[in-house]
């Protein structure tokens, strides 16, 4: 324990962000940094409690409670308080291959289940995690660690997102030759082409990829398994295959007018902007541009929020974000949302904060459903119709959304971005290999085992579990690597 009274002596602090009206002028990360003294103080608030729920990593009522990679949070908080940064880095890397990713983009379910949060504000866990890895790189402590010997076994990893990279990193540690196949032109999966640069710098992603390459992981880009290389050939050429292709099929949104020009799926919008930015600093014009347009984002999750932030940086005329969920309360509902569940409370994410600073209001509309798109004489969308909804329980016990009569509205919209989630994995590889999938089209494999019904073939991450958090993808990639190692060697020393 750092100090037995730290949580009483000090209040929670998080780093300040750059001014919203300034940061929307560029594509740089928006967080500032805290001093080492401030971080030590925040670390002292951690009580090393008898039952530290912060690293439980369990799912409660559809949400995540605690850290899915089981970060040993009280231990490295104590080390930071004592000024032992190198030791804190070693402790952090024992459970998390990529703390620079989770430190940037994870919603921090660890903080939602922090025991200190029962009586006040939780420990500043995520910020300390990010600071540890940042210092590790700046001090030169993070260096390539290739395995001392090779097993002679070859493993193909399909997909270079967080699950694929975690699986490859662990398999390489075990001495296997891991080859990662990526159909895009850059490694990183959604880390590169799904998360905007202001949330996660692509230089940070490439830095870790370069490190993995120096440790012996092989990367092959612009190669789609099932098309450029058949799935059968891949299985034949390798001792094992790990499918980490993600849940990339956008959930369809078919209503009247959905064929109009100017309606796009969110990932197409985000991907083209990120690629154009990386290729030419947006000078090539090869992206869906929101400049001077009235933008409506349909979807209230993280992807929709990233669309809002991107549209602001494009210079949109206005932006509105729709969500079917009701506006959350200001304080945790202790009956329906008790600790250690992730707290469902009203907050402004970075994009909503930026929109409010620019336009004077939260851009979100809650409990709303789009019923029709309206187009002009040229077949372009220029408005949409909506209705307010309420969640009810029908006669069968199902929770459904019911329109509220008399609440119909119309919104101007030159550009509509659909961000309502994903419908599982693409089916090319499962169909070629006759791999079983579930009713959501995710590849079937038991959690903790990760083996499909096809010999030599494993799966992990969103391709197995459906759309989820980066930290869950890392968890599954690590665990799948352990199971592959067992399959190849009979036993495993991987965690």
What local confidence, expressed as pLDDT, does residue 480 receive?
A: 98
With a cut of 70, say whether residue 130 has pLDDT above it. yes
Q: In the chain, what are the domains?
A: 6-138 (1.10.1060.10), 154-248+424-489 (3.50.50.60), 263-418 (3.50.50.60)
Strands 218-220 and 415-418: unpaired
Tens of pLDDT, residues 69-79: 999 999 999 99
With a cut of 80, say whether residue 2 has pLDDT above it. no
Instruction: Name the phi and psi angles at 43, rounded to 5.
Output: -65, -30
What local confidence, expressed as pLDDT, does residue 6 receive?
A: 87
Give 270-338 as a DSSP string.
HHHHHHHHHHHTTTT--S---TT-EEEEE--SHHHHHHHHHHHHHT-SEEEEE-SSPPPPSS--TTTS-
With a cut of 70, say whether residue 1 has pLDDT above it. no
Task: Please report, rounded to a whole number, the percentage of residues in the chain having pLDDT higher than 90.
Answer: 92
pLDDT classification of 172: cutoffs 50, 70, 90: very high
CA 281, 285, 287, 293 dihedral sign is positive
How many angstroms separate the CA atoms of 196 and 203, rounded?
Answer: 12
Strands 294-298 and 381-393: unpaired
What local confidence, expressed as pLDDT, does residue 119 receive?
A: 86
Task: Please report, rounded to a whole number, the percentage of residues in the chain having pLDDT higher than 70.
Answer: 100
Place of tokens 């669309």: 307
Check if the beta carbon of residue 47 is closer than 8 Å to that of residue 115: yes
Task: Output 5 or 362, whichever has higher pLDDT.
Answer: 362
Residues, the chain:
495
Place of tokens 């020009």: 261
Tens of pLDDT, residues 89-128: 999 999 999 999 999 999 999 999 999 998 889 999 999 9
What local confidence, expressed as pLDDT, does residue 301 receive?
A: 94
Structure tokens at 429: 């590889």
What local confidence, expressed as pLDDT, does residue 3 receive?
A: 77
pLDDT classification of 396: cutoffs 50, 70, 90: confident
Instruction: Name the phi and psi angles at 451, rounded to 5.
Output: -90, 135
How many angstroms separate the CA atoms of 477 and 164, rounded?
Answer: 6
Task: Give the three-state DSSP class for 420.
Answer: coil
What local confidence, expressed as pLDDT, does residue 47 receive?
A: 84
Name the least confident of 163-177, 233-247, 334-348, 406-420. 334-348
Task: Output 52 or 312, whichever has higher pLDDT.
Answer: 312
Q: Quick one: average pLDDT of 245-261? A: 95
How many angstroms separate the CA atoms of 68 and 58, rounded?
Answer: 7
Q: In a 10 Å sphere around its CB, with 0-12 CB exposed, 13-18 middle and 19+ buried, how is residue 258 labelled?
A: middle
10 Å Cβ neighbour count for 423? 17
Q: Quick one: average pLDDT of 162-184? A: 98
With a cut of 90, say whether residue 259 has pLDDT above it. yes
Tens of pLDDT, residues 322-361: 999 999 999 999 898 999 999 999 999 999 999 999 999 9
pLDDT classification of 60: cutoffs 50, 70, 90: confident
What local confidence, expressed as pLDDT, does residue 290 receive?
A: 98
């Amino acid at each position: 324990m750092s100090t037995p009274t730290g949580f009483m002596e000090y209040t929670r602090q998080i780093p300040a962000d750059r001014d919203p009206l300034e940061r929307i002028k560029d594509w740089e990360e928006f967080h500032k940094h805290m001093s080492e003294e401030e971080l030590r103080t925040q670390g002292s608030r951690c009580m090393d409690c008898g039952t530290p729920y912060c690293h439980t990593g369990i799912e409660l009522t559809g949400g995540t409670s605690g850290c899915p990679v089981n970060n040993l949070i009280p231990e490295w908080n104590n080390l930071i308080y004592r000024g032992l940064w190198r030791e804190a880095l070693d402790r952090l890397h024992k459970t998390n291959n990529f703390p620079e990713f989770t430190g940037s983009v994870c919603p921090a379910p660890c903080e939602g289940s922090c025991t200190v949060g029962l009586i006040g504000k939780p420990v500043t866990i995520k910020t300390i995690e990010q600071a540890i890895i940042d210092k590790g790189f700046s001090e030169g402590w993070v260096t390539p660690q290739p395995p001392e010997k090779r097993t002679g076994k070859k493993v193909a990893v399909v997909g270079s997102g967080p699950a694929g990279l975690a699986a490859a990193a662990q398999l390489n540690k075990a001495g296997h030759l891991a080859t990662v196949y990526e159909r895009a032109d850059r490694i990183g999966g959604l880390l590169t082409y799904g998360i905007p640069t202001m949330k996660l710098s692509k230089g940070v992603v490439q830095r870790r990829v370069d490190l993995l390459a120096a440790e012996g992981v092989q990367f092959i880009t612009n190669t789609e398994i099932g098309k450029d290389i058949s799935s059968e050939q891949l299985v034949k050429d390798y001792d094992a295959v790990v499918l980490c292709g993600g849940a990339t099929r956008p959930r369809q949104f078919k209503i009247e007018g959905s064929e109009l020009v100017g309606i796009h799926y969110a990932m197409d919008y985000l991907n083209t902007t990120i690629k154009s930015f990386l290729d030419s600093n947006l000078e090539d014009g090869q992206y869906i541009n929101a400049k001077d347009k009235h933008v409506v984002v349909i979807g209230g999750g993280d992807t929709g929020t990233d669309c809002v932030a991107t549209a602001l940086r494009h210079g949109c005329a206005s932006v509105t974000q729709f969500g079917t969920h009701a506006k959350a309360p200001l304080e945790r509902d202790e009956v329906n949302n008790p600790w250690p569940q992730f707290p469902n409370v009203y907050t402004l994410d970075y994009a909503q904060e930026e929109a409010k600073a620019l336009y004077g209001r939260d851009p979100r509309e809650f409990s709303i459903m789009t019923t029709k798109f309206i187009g002009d004489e040229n077949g372009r969308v220029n408005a949409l119709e909506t209705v307010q909804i309420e969640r009810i329980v029908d006669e069968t016990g199902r929770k459904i959304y019911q329109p509220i009569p008399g609440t119909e509205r119309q919104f101007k919209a030159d550009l509509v971005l659909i961000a309502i989630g994903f419908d599982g994995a693409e089916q090319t590889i499962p169909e070629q290999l006759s791999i079983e999938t579930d009713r959501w089209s995710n590849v079937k494999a038991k959690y903790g085992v990760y083996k499909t019904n096809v010999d030599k073939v494993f799966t992990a991450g969103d391709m197995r579990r459906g759309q989820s958090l980066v930290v869950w993808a890392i968890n599954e990639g690590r665990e799948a690597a352990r199971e592959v190692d067992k399959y190849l060697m009979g036993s495993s020393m991987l965690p």
